[in-house]
Structure 1
Amino acid sequence: MNVQHKIAVVQGLNLFYREAGNRNNPTILLLHGFPSSSHMYRNLILQLEDDYHIIAPDYPGFGNSDQPSMTEFDYTFEGIAELVNAFVEQLNLKQYSLYVHDYGAPVGYRLAVMHPERVQAIITQNGNAYEIGLESAWAPIQAFWQNPDDAAVRQGVVDLLSIAITKLQYVNGTRNPQSISPDNWNNDQIHLDREGNQEIQLALYYDYQNNLKQYPTWHEYFREYQPPVLVAWGKNDMFFGVKGALAYMDDLEDVDVHLLNTGHFPLEEDLDISVSLIRDFLKRRLWTV
């Protein structure tokens, strides 16, 4: 076990990241989802560090990274992707496999479009890239896109930041909710409850509509560059449904799709299965282990 907890100063911001493994091994860039941070990868990193070089950053406003004000940082997915790209370049990561979850997908796929030559493979766990994948739980956010100034609509998305919903994202759709550690949602909620964080999360909720506008660009990237893709999807996800997982087969030739009987955070209940799938997938694509 040799996980390092580091800070990189990127464009004047302190970005926290976890690093493990030997830099001579292939790199996996782990991009976290909402409402988590690199904390969601703590167990996965330990399983992969012997054979891979692992990098897992926290975005601004998440986890242990800085939380600049709304005037100091562009809290959009484009803004986050540009910062993560600068972080990748600062760490001199020439090539990597992308692992994307939830918010990590719109960040990671922007990176892939910016620098397709860097991406050796993609692992998506509930990282959506197709409109058909959006489930009914998105209704409050979609209403917010249409009427951001309506007080009732705004309250509907504020309610999504409550501890009850944070917990629900971890336990909904799981086979055994009692097996999921409350440390997950309690840790996330500490950061969501920071002064000023609510406005940051609302800005990202509102900006998510621009990810949908990028979907055709990402599909074109898939079709043109044909990266090998592993889809290891929690099929009971309340936000990103099975149709979004299967849709990857529309644009990719080398794609493995596995539907796991769990919820939004497959690593919590199906870590061993996920590790096995990732190891087998990367072994056959990267010829390393």
Structure 2
Amino acid sequence: MAETCTHYRTASIDGLDVFYREAGDRSNPTLLLLHGFPSSSHMFRNLITALADDYHLVAPDHIGFGQSSMPSVNQFTYSFDRLTDITEKLIDRLGLGRFAIYIHDYGAPIGLRIASSRPERITGIITQSGNAYTEGFTPFWDRLFAHAKDRGANEDAVRDYFTPETTKWQYTHGVPADRLDRIAPETWLLDQAGLDRKGNDAIQLQLFWDYQFNLDGYPKFQEYFRVHQPPLLVTWGRNDEIFGAAGAEAFKRDLPDGEFHLLDTGHFALETHGDEIAGHIRDFLGRQEGLIRE
């Protein structure tokens, strides 16, 4: 019987500790799981358990998040280019050749930089509120983009996104009443503990500011979709008020053969629809890897 337990490991990359969760037989197809704000690889804990029998799963914490190193903004360049660089070096360190990517929130611009730069390595893309089109931006982003234009103009309003109330809201908004009891309260408490660390507010403000440059990469991402037609699975909360459902639908322009599931939930769809998403992933990756079960 294949080993399915999760291992909690750390790799030294550029003198920084990069924490990652790993499960499953390395000889099986690999799925790289890339988390978003304000979470960590913890968001994938149940998905890893659900898929580890047939897949090799790796879920790192980005620098400044979770259990990875959190150097100050004076010690590390907090940009999505740099976070991508660290992730690519982890991929090389672990010897991952070909793999699928699961992108969520901040994980999208990181994963899509990797995919569009080395398309031959990507066996599939799974996106859960992982944006690649301007249609996905909701009013949630108005103050963030205003902050990007003038960093001092509305910093207090942006800091509202670091509060316990907002962190909990990110998990609960858009979730039907009969699914709220599926959300483990330690999810937002753990995320908030990360945000509350001394100096983390400066890190998150820097990444909020840098996010604007991800949009410059959208034409390259979309060209990659059109030219290489990577297999696509969308498992997106239709009620997400951070990355709206229009962002999911926009993938159809360049990847019309993708598989689309808009779920009746919000931003952290794995918390409320984890079983359904795991099933969709198993079917989707099974078709790519010939692992369809009878």
Residue aligning to 1:213: 216
Alignment counterpart, residue 138 of structure 1, candidates 138, 141, 147: 141
Shift of 1:71: 2.2
Secondary structure of the corresponding residue to residue 275 of structure 2: helix
Residue aligning to 2:174: 173
Letter in 2 for 1:111: I
Residue aligning to 2:58: 55
Paired with 1:241 and 1:41, the residues of 2 have a C-alpha distance of: 21
Residue aligning to 1:156: 157
Alignment counterpart, residue 186 of structure 1, candidates 161, 184, 189: 189
Residue aligning to 2:70: 67
Paired with 2:164 and 2:181, the residues of 1 have a C-alpha distance of: 17
Secondary structure of the corresponding residue to residue 205 of structure 1: helix
Paired with 1:253 and 1:155, the residues of 2 have a C-alpha distance of: 41
1:94-133 equivalences in 2 (<5 Å): 94-133=97-136
Is residue 2:87 matched to residue 1:93? Answer: no
Letter in 2 for 1:227: P
TM-score, normalised relative to structure 2: 0.96
Letter in 2 for 1:171: T
Paired with 1:224 and 1:106, the residues of 2 have a C-alpha distance of: 18
**Residue 227 of structure 1 contacts residue 254 of structure 1 at CA under 8 Å; is this kept in 2?**
no
Residue aligning to 2:43: 40
Shift of 1:70: 1.2
Residue aligning to 1:255: 258
**CA RMSD across the alignment:** 0.9
Letter in 1 for 2:188: W
Secondary structure of the corresponding residue to residue 73 of structure 2: coil
**Residue 226 of structure 1 contacts residue 253 of structure 1 at CA under 8 Å; is this kept in 2?**
no
Letter in 1 for 2:163: S
Secondary structure of the corresponding residue to residue 235 of structure 2: strand
Paired with 1:18 and 1:116, the residues of 2 have a C-alpha distance of: 24
Residue aligning to 1:222: 225
| Regions of 4+ moved over 2 Å | 176-179
Letter in 2 for 1:175: P
Residue aligning to 1:204: 207
**Unaligned 5+ residue runs, structure 2?**
none
Paired with 1:251 and 1:36, the residues of 2 have a C-alpha distance of: 29
Paired with 2:183 and 2:64, the residues of 1 have a C-alpha distance of: 24
Paired with 2:182 and 2:72, the residues of 1 have a C-alpha distance of: 37
**Unaligned 5+ residue runs, structure 1?**
none
Once the two structures are superposed, residues 191-243 of structure 1 have per-residue CA deviations (whole angstroms, 9 ceiling, x without a partner) of: 10001100000001011100111111100011111100001110111111111
Letter in 2 for 1:165: T
Letter in 2 for 1:5: Y
Once the two structures are superposed, residues 156-199 of structure 1 have per-residue CA deviations (whole angstroms, 9 ceiling, x without a partner) of: 11111111000000000001323311100000011100011000
Equivalent residues, number: 287
Shift of 1:286: 1.7
Once the two structures are superposed, residues 239-275 of structure 1 have per-residue CA deviations (whole angstroms, 9 ceiling, x without a partner) of: 1111100000100143011100000011000011101
Shift of 1:134: 0.3
Paired with 1:25 and 1:231, the residues of 2 have a C-alpha distance of: 22
Residue aligning to 1:24: 27
Shift of 1:145: 1.2
Paired with 2:228 and 2:77, the residues of 1 have a C-alpha distance of: 29
